[in-house]
């Protein structure tokens, strides 16, 4: 077995280290970094545009490049979250919560370094997981049906209250507003269009990217302009770029836990990196000795979710490679690139095309190394972003955001929608509400409804289906216990604080 | 007194001038056509990047680009099940620079289920039916029936108990399943998913027993035995699985469900441009590399004339209308 694995790996190394494949890997990782950094512009659009170019190159090289774009974008999405409080990719929303406060304390370099290091760590671990356990792990994906997804999403929604460090009422309020926004659009079961007010732009629901760019990027710019009218915005000083021993000590465990969470959740084709990154955040906050540090620049709040989102981005490949089930449209495009070249995805890929499978696995490790080498020196460059005068930086940000939102669906409506959400986001900021629950509500609401109704359709209306499936029952029990755990830990924190004070 | 400016000229010369203008206009149009295309051609794909038809459209655009020596790009305008993109093309300038990648949804189904701002047979001019892909009836490996006859008997004994998945309401897989219900007089439960891959995952896991999906997304799973193919939905047998009998020959005579990808233009597009595009498509399909690529994706090449495509559409709309009526799929 191990002998066989060594043979496979040496084959993979031979494939991945040919000059062409090495260059394709570098090209993919670099492109991924670029689209990851630009808010709105995502890997799917990029892969779609490059797809015709891959017809003329070998399947293995094509897949190496396209997957490089995919994990590269996940790797780099956190950069703007940390520097500017604007998530470059949906998966890096959670990084804003502590990454941006770190930047404001002058620790942007530290946050970026930690993000690059834990991404690399998660990437290496998950590459090994793909190499060793792909076939058995693929079966896990099929264990998750509508009841399991329903209760998992329910659990995620309940944990949202733990996410925010502001008041419970405000968090619940913004999450519910997000859920309500999620009801806009075509009902999946009947095809009836809800709350579109005759606008074609709303028939498919509120665009997630519009909301994210609006409440994060646009609102941030507005808040700065509003602040500058009476005093010049304070510029965070850059104290150091290198993480301290304490930073590393704190990140180590968070990265391990984040990798485990992301690696497992990434196997489910329906959920993906987003849930994993915020699940990791909740876990870190729950087990922290002093949860009040979260939201104020806790390094674990960057390390855990960043590891989780990169781990999930890689294990997402397992259902695609072994079952032929793509998790999301970027994966579907990669699958298309393979099929076009006559390779049928499925369990036989590993045996019939070992060069492709193992070449990809080795290239993932190689790509992650390249990303680390690429990103660490870039930390210095990104940090200097903050030295650009705001009067130049902000118009630039607005422009890139508009291009990103527009490019997603060639829709000016989405750009206007983002502007509207910018105003909403500014209002929320003034009220002291965090925007993350709003976004999570918008994403999870429709998923919850869809899976809940599908579960009931399949069970012919029997609600007991949720307790008959063991995994689903497990999620329900955890969901029921969560509020108590939350109460208990916050009591403890209160007691400790009053103890310290007294 | 206001004078009509024309009265200053003798009537005969006005007529002559008018005729001259018309000739001039014709001449410039002829020039415009002979030099078409002079700028980028946009193929509007009315769905998000990444779907099966999106990949087909990209193969086609690459080929048109090489044959017409002009940039030819796929523009994804997703929304309302393809309605947004199709409406945009239906109302675009008929100059041959904005074309629609047409699929059953935008051409046959949506106009029957929703009130739309375009009529697919009046506002769009067919250019060519590029590719076809038959519906395949696939089942979970452990599902007892192996033939259409066995399935009908099985489903009649258990009304409402057999589930068929689909890629969403109004999707090709939905219509194909409802068509079976309607023509075979059975009652199965429709379970909609968001896209084919989610439905396929639950088919593999056995949560839904059947899926009526067009060939490309299920071909691999049939080949490697992950799912069981029961029959094919086209009028004739498929070249991919010649041993697989058609649903029509297995006791549901009128059943015909074939997905397609065709190119359409705004209605008043000049005929020479349409012919030029049709010829380019035929030439493109004759290119062995393109043919291999498209074949690998699980589609049959067609390359019909505009008239054949129009007749194909008319036939599809007639059958779909009956299914939509029977399954109460029309939204008020």
- Residue A186 and residue B52: Cβ atoms within 8 Å? no
Q: Which tens digit of pLDDT belongs to each residue from B207-260?
A: 999 999 999 889 988 988 999 999 999 999 999 999 999 999 999 999 999 999
| Predicted confidence band of residue A236 (pLDDT cuts 50, 70, 90) | low
Average pLDDT over residues B283-310: 93
CB-based contact, B192 to chain A, within 8 Å? yes
The percentage of residues in chain B with a pLDDT greater than 90, rounded to a whole number, is 69
Residue B47: what pLDDT?
Answer: 83
Residue A434 has pLDDT above 60, yes or no: yes
Closest to B264 in 3D by CA, of B72, B65, B106: B106
Q: How far apart are CA B176 and CA A257, in angstroms?
A: 46
**More confident of the two residues A54 and A127:** A127
Q: B150 and B229, same structural domain?
A: yes
pLDDT digits (tens, 9 = 90+) for B40-67: 999 999 987 767 788 889 899 999 999 9
Q: Could you tell me if B224 and B213 lie in one domain?
A: yes
User: In this structure, is residue B24 part of a structural domain?
Assistant: no
The confidence score (pLDDT) of residue B268 equals 94
Residue B236 counted as domain residue: yes
Least confident of A80-89, B142-151, B307-316: A80-89
Q: Looking at the predicted structure, is the pLDDT value of residue B313 above 50? A: yes
Phi and psi (nearest 5°) for B195? Answer: 95, 160
pLDDT attached to residue B41: 95
What's residue B23's pLDDT?
52
Q: Give the burial class of A169: count Cβ atoms within 10 A of its Cβ; 0-12 exposed, 13-18 middle, 19 or more buried.
A: exposed
pLDDT recorded at residue A428: 92
What average pLDDT does the segment B155-178 reach?
94
Select the more confidently predicted residue: A268 or B9.
Answer: A268
As a residue count, chain A comes to 502
Last residue of a domain, one of B197, B219, B250: B250
Q: What is the pLDDT of residues A478-488, one digit of tens each?
A: 889 887 877 77
* CATH number for B171: 3.40.190.10
List, in order, residues 6 or more apart from B180 with CB less than 8 Å away.
Answer: B137, B164, B186, B188, B212, B247, B252, B255
What's residue A167's pLDDT?
76
- Name the residue facing B50 among A325, A332, A344 (closest C-beta): A332
> How far off is chain A from B38, nearest CA to CA, in Å?
22
Mean pLDDT of A92-114: 89
**What is the C-alpha separation between A227 and A433, in angstroms, rounded?**
18
Contacts of B245 (CB under 8 A, 6+ apart): B147, B148, B231, B232, B237
Over residues A85-112, mean pLDDT: 86
Report pLDDT for B9.
43
Distance CA A163, CA B197 (A): 32
State residue A38's pLDDT score.
75
| Rounded average pLDDT over B79-85 | 84
pLDDT average, residue stretch B296-317? 94
pLDDT in tens, A294-311: 888 999 999 999 999 999
Per DSSP, A236 falls in state P
Give the model's pLDDT for residue A1: 52
| Eight-class DSSP state of B47 | S
Give the range of the structural domain holding residue B308, as residue numbers without chain letter.
39-132+258-326
DSSP 3-state of B302 = coil
Give me the pLDDT at residue A202, please: 87
Looking at residue A489, its pLDDT comes to 67
Q: Choose one of B197, B222, B250: the last residue of a domain.
A: B250
Do A186 and B76 count as a contact with CB atoms less than 8 A apart?
no
Would you say residue B158 has pLDDT above 90?
yes
Beta strands in B110-257 (DSSP E): 124-140, 163-166, 189-192, 210-214, 227-232
Quick one: tokens of B23? 């000739």
Tell me: do B126 and B160 sit in the same domain.
no
Q: Where are the domains of chain A?
A: 2-501
pLDDT at B7 over 50: no
- With 90 as the cut, is the pLDDT of residue A45 above it? no
User: What's the mean pLDDT when you consider all of chain A?
Assistant: 85
Residues B185, B207 within the same domain? yes
Q: Same structural domain for residues B148 and B215?
A: yes
Specify the higher pLDDT residue, B79 or B175.
B175
Q: How near does any CA of chain B get to the CA of A224, in Å?
A: 34
Rounded-to-integer distance, Cα B37 and Cα A148, Å: 54
B144 and B56 in one domain?
no
Residue B102's nearest CA partner among B298, B332, B317, B286 is B317
Contacts of B4 (CB under 8 A, 6+ apart): none
Nearest CA in chain B to A447: B194
Contact A125, A396 (CB under 8 A): no
Q: How confident is the model at residue A66 (pLDDT cuts 50, 70, 90)?
A: very high
Answer whether A138's CB lies under 8 Å from A268's CB: no
Rounded distance between C-alpha atoms, residue B255 and residue B260, angstroms: 16
Q: Give the number of domains in chain B.
A: 2
Q: How far is CA A207 from CA A178, A408, A441, B78, in A?
A: 12, 10, 13, 12
B22 part of a folded domain: no
Q: How confident is the model at residue B27 (pLDDT cuts 50, 70, 90)?
A: very low
Asked whether residue B77 is assigned to any structural domain, the reply reads yes
Residue B13 covered by a domain: no
| A325 min Cα distance to partner chain B (Å) | 6
Mean pLDDT along residues B72-95 = 89
Q: In this structure, is residue B312 part of a structural domain? A: yes
Of residues B160, B197, B292, nearest to A332 (C-beta):
B197
pLDDT at A239: 62
**Is residue B76 helix, strand or coil?**
strand
Say yes or no: B68 and B206 in one domain: no
Same domain for B304 and B278: yes
How far is residue B222's CA from residue A436's CA, in Å, rounded to a whole number? 43
Q: Token pair for residue A17? A: 């280290």
Q: What is the pLDDT of residue A269?
A: 67
CA dist B54 and A150 (Å) reads 30
Give the pLDDT confidence score for residue B44 in this predicted structure: 95
ipTM, interface predicted TM-score of the complex: 0.81
Q: Is residue B307 part of a domain?
A: yes
Q: Could you tell me how many CB contacts below 8 A there are between chain A and chain B? A: 143
Secondary structure letter of residue A117 according to DSSP: H
Sign of the torsion angle spanned by Cα atoms A144, A118, A301, A38:
negative
Is B205 within 8 Å of chain A by CB?
yes
Domain boundary, last residue among B250, B280, B311: B250
Query: What kind and span of H or E run contains B73?
Result: strand B72-76
Query: Of all helices (H) and strands (E), which one includes residue B54?
Result: helix B52-68
Measured between CA atoms, the residue of chain B closest to residue A407 is B76
Residues of B in contact with A460 (CB under 8 A): 160
**Measured between alpha carbons, how far is residue A501 from residues A288, A497, B250 in Å?**
19, 6, 82
For chain B, what is the mean pLDDT? 88
Q: How does strand A193-194 pair with strand A185-186? A: antiparallel
Interface check for B327 against chain A (CB to CB < 8 A): the answer is: no
- Contact call for B77 and A141, based on CB within 8 A: no
The whole-angstrom separation of Cα B149 and Cα B135 is 18
What's the farthest any 2 CA atoms get from each other in chain B? 90
- How large is the angle between the packed helices A273-287 and A300-315, nearest 10 degrees? 150
- Confidence (pLDDT) at B323: 94
Using CB atoms, pick whichever of B169, B207, B298 lies closest to residue A145. B207
């Amino acid at each position: 077995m191990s002998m066989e694995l060594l043979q496979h790996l040496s084959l993979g190394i031979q494939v991945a280290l040919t000059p062409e494949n090495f260059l394709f890997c570098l090209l993919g990782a670099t492109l991924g970094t670029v689209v990851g950094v630009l808010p709105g512009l995502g890997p799917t659009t990029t892969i779609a545009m490059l797809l015709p170019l891959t017809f003329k190159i070998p399947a293995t090289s094509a897949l190496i490049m396209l997957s490089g774009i995919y994990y590269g974008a996940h790797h780099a999405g956190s950069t703007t979250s940390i520097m500017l409080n604007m998530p470059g990719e949906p998966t890096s929303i959670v990084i804003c919560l502590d990454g941006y406060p770190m930047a404001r304390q002058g620790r942007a370099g530290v946050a970026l370094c930690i993000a690059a290091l834990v991404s690399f760590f998660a990437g290496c671990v998950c590459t090994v997981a793909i190499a060793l356990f792909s076939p058995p792990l693929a079966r896990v994906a099929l264990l998750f049906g509508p009841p399991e997804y329903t209760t998992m999403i329910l659990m995620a929604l309940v944990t949202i209250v733990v996410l925010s460090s502001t008041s419970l009422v405000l968090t619940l309020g913004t999450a519910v507003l997000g859920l309500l926004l999620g009801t806009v659009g075509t009902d999946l079961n009947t095809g009836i269009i809800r709350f579109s007010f005759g606008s074609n732009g709303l028939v498919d629901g509120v665009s997630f990217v519009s909301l994210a760019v609006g409440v994060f990027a646009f609102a941030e710019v507005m808040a700065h302009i509003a602040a500058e009218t009476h005093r010049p915005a304070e510029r965070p000083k850059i104290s150091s770029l290198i993480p301290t021993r304490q930073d590393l000590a704190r990140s180590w465990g968070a990265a391990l836990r984040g990798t485990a969470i992301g690696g497992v959740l990434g196997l489910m084709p329906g959920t993906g990196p987003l849930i994993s990154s915020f699940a990791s955040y909740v876990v870190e906050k729950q087990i922290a000795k002093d949860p009040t540090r979260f939201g104020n620049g806790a390094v674990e709040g960057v390390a855990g979710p960043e590891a989780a989102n990169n781990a999930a981005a890689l294990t997402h490949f397992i259902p695609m490679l072994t079952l032929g089930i793509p998790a999301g449209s970027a994966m579907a495009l990669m699958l298309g690139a393979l099929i076009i070249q006559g390779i049928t995805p499925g369990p036989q890929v590993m045996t019939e095309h070992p060069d492709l499978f193992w070449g990809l696995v080795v290239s993932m490790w190689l790509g992650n190394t390249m990303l680390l080498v690429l990103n660490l020196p870039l930390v210095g460059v990104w940090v200097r972003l903050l030295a650009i005068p705001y009067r130049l930086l902000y118009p630039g940000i607005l422009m890139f955001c508009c291009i990103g939102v527009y490019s997603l669906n060639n829709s000016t409506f989405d750009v206007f929608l983002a502007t509207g959400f910018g105003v909403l986001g500014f209002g929320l900021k003034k009220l002291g509400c965090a925007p993350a629950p709003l976004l999570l509500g918008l994403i999870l609401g429709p998923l919850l409804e869809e899976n809940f109704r599908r579960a009931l359709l399949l069970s012919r209306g029997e609600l007991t289906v949720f307790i008959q499936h063991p995994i689903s029952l497990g999620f329900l029990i955890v969901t029921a216990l969560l509020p108590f755990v939350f109460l208990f830990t916050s009591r403890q924190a209160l007691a400790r604080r009053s103890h310290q004070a007294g | 007194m206001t004078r009509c400016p024309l009265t200053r000229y003798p009537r005969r010369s006005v007529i002559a001038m008018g005729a001259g203008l018309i000739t001039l206009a014709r001449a410039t149009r002829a020039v415009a056509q002979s030099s078409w295309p002079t700028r980028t051609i946009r193929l509007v794909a009315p769905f998000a990047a990444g779907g099966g038809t999106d990949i087909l459209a990209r193969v086609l655009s690459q080929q048109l680009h090489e044959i017409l020596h002009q940039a030819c790009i796929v523009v994804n305008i997703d929304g309302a099940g393809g309605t947004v993109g199709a409406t945009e093309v239906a109302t675009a300038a008929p100059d041959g620079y904005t074309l629609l990648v047409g699929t059953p949804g935008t051409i046959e189904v949506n106009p029957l289920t929703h009130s739309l701002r375009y009529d697919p047979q009046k506002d769009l001019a067919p250019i060519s039916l590029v590719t076809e892909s038959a519906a395949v009836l696939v089942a979970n490996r452990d599902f007892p029936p192996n033939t259409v006859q066995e399935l009908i008997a099985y489903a009649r004994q258990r009304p409402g108990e057999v589930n068929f998945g689909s890629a969403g309401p109004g999707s090709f897989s939905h219509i194909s399943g409802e068509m079976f219900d309607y023509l075979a007089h059975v009652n199965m439960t429709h379970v909609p998913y968001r896209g084919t891959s989610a439905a396929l995952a639950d088919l593999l896991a056995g949560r839904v027993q059947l899926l009526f999906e067009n060939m490309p997304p299920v071909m691999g799973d049939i080949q490697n035995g992950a799912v069981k193919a029961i029959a094919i939905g086209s009028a004739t047998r498929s070249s991919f699985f010649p041993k697989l009998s058609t649903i029509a020959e297995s006791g549901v005579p009128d059943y015909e469900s074939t997905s397609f990808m065709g190119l359409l233009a705004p209605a008043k597009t000049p005929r020479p441009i349409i012919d030029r595009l049709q010829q380019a498509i035929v030439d493109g399909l004759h290119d062995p590399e393109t043919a291999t690529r498209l074949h690998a994706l699980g589609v049959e090449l067609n390359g019909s004339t505009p008239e054949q495509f129009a007749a194909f559409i008319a036939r599809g709309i007639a059958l779909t209308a009956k299914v939509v009526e029977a399954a109460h799929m029309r939204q008020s």
